[in-house]
Homo-oligomer: A and B are copies of this chain.
Amino acid sequence: MGQPSAALATFAQAARPTTIIEAPRLARKLGINLLLASETFQHTGSFKFRATSHLASHVPNPLIIAASSGNFGQALAYACSLVGKRSIIVMPQTSALVKVDAVREYGGQVDFVDVRAKSRAARVAELAGEHPEAYVASAYDDPLVIEGNSSLGEELARIDCPFDRPPEVVVAPVGGGGLTSGIVTGLRRAGSSLEVVGAEPLLANDAAQSLRAGRIVANETEPQTIADGARTVSLGVHNWAILKDGLAGIVEVPEENIALAVRLLFELANLKAEPTGALSVGALLTDPDRFRGRLVCCVVSGGNVDPAVYRELLGAS
């Protein structure tokens, strides 16, 4: 469908404020006071638009290139469209058609790569050579990305809290560390000392290992967790610089608790979350004692999930 149609009204180019949701039935089930900060209604359906809208409006380049088979690609395509820039999103040939369609619908140009023959990074480098005017964007390891995501931290610092007290701890998913490093940056800038805890798939626990080791530890291969937004090989360098002292800890969430969190968000909070988005609630399921008696804000980072995958998750019980 190309560029957004001029016949339909356009939206503000800024990120949409996060949606705060009280979920008393979920809180009761978990025995933990909680609020949800949902980014599932953010433009393009995930927090990634915070980064890409900042990026697209701050780099002078007319073209932005990135590798992404998920939320970053859609968010970058849309953000570029809004400011009249072009985007090329490198995606594996095997990407789900709905994801390819979404990138195209948001105005992005899809470049397919056969990952058996060439890595995505190699294809991005090749494209960068062909397009010297382009900015090459990382989904997390870029100060502009962290700065964009920091707007969520600033919002959480001044949350309009329906309880009689502000939250005491924020739990957010960790993949490359773009979201959590942004949240920490925004909170601290706003003068908040709110604790930030990461939620990482146990199958992809490189960030937890990194915190323990005091240096970046990488997964050997891309981990096959259902939380596909956290299938990163390691934290980014810029993210690590913030997270090594900025995170109060990381909870390593087993796959079954990720799936259970998706179901509980559906059943008890009416919230459609993607597996990566449900990691924060999965952390409460995994280590409840850490959170008992405190008011917890769980960031649900995104909601984009295929209907077939979601149906399976709802069915498993």
A28 CB to closest chain B CB, in angstroms? 6
**When each residue 83-104 of chain A gets 1 if its CB lies under 8 Å from chain B and 0 otherwise, what string results?**
0000000000000001000100
Q: How many copies does the complex hold?
A: 2
Across-interface contacts of A48 in B (CB, < 8 A): none
CB of B22 within 8 A of CB of A19, answer no
Given that A266-B272, A266-B307 are known contacts, is A9 also in contact with B33, CB under 8 Å in the complex?
yes
A295 at the interface (CB under 8 A from B): yes
A311 CB to closest chain B CB, in angstroms? 5
Bound Cα distance A122, B1 (Å): 57
Residues in A35-51 with C-beta less than 8 Å from chain B: 40-41, 43, 45
The one of B33, B105, B162 in contact with A8, judged by C-beta atoms closer than 8 angstroms, is B33
Residues in A1-33 with C-beta less than 8 Å from chain B: 1, 4-5, 7-9, 11-12, 16, 19, 21-22, 24-25, 27-28, 31, 33
A315 at the interface (CB under 8 A from B): yes
Besides A4-B24, A25-B102, A45-B270, 16 more A-B contacts (Cβ < 8 Å) are A5-B28, A8-B24, A8-B27, A9-B33, A9-B164, A9-B165, A11-B22, A11-B162, A12-B162, A22-B43, A28-B105, A41-B270, A41-B271, A98-B267, A266-B307, A270-B272
